[in-house]
Amino acid sequence: MEFKRKYPEEFQQYVTAARRCYWLYSNSTDKFVVTHNGENDELGVFVRTKQGGWFSIGDYFNSGELDATGKIWDNLVSEIDHFDYTDEEKEQILKEKTI
């Protein structure tokens, strides 16, 4: 497997995460989505879930669902007035498309 050779540390994290969170991660993944987080030059790695989505491997602060379809973002935007954001913060969130 190319990913295993290129990213051995991240592959081992996947194996550990799949074993530890057997209810979340698929037993096998057809692809690995690798992103550059920008913080501490770390890689973000997303793998398949049992539900068919993508979830990252890593510690508590580096784990999350990959919004590959934009559905999570659309839900957030439709409900943004229910959150405690100022008008300026809302404008910035929508402009930058990031939280």
Question: Which domain covers residue 79, as residue numbers?
Answer: 67-99
Helix residue ranges, H only, 7-86: 8-20, 71-78
Same domain, 54 and 76: no
Same domain, 82 and 41: no
**Global confidence as pTM:** 0.72
Q: Output the average pLDDT for the chain.
A: 85
Instruction: Determine contact, residues 75/85, Cβ cutoff 8 Å.
Output: no
**80 contact partners, CB below 8 Å, separation of at least 6:** 90, 93, 94
Same domain, 53 and 97: no
Distances in Å between the Cα of 23 and the Cα atoms of 27, 70, 89 are 10, 24, 36
Lowest pLDDT segment from 48-52, 55-59, 70-74, 78-82: 55-59
Q: What percent of the chain has pLDDT over 70?
A: 91
Instruction: Determine contact, residues 66/53, Cβ cutoff 8 Å.
Output: yes
Radius of gyration of the chain (CA): 16
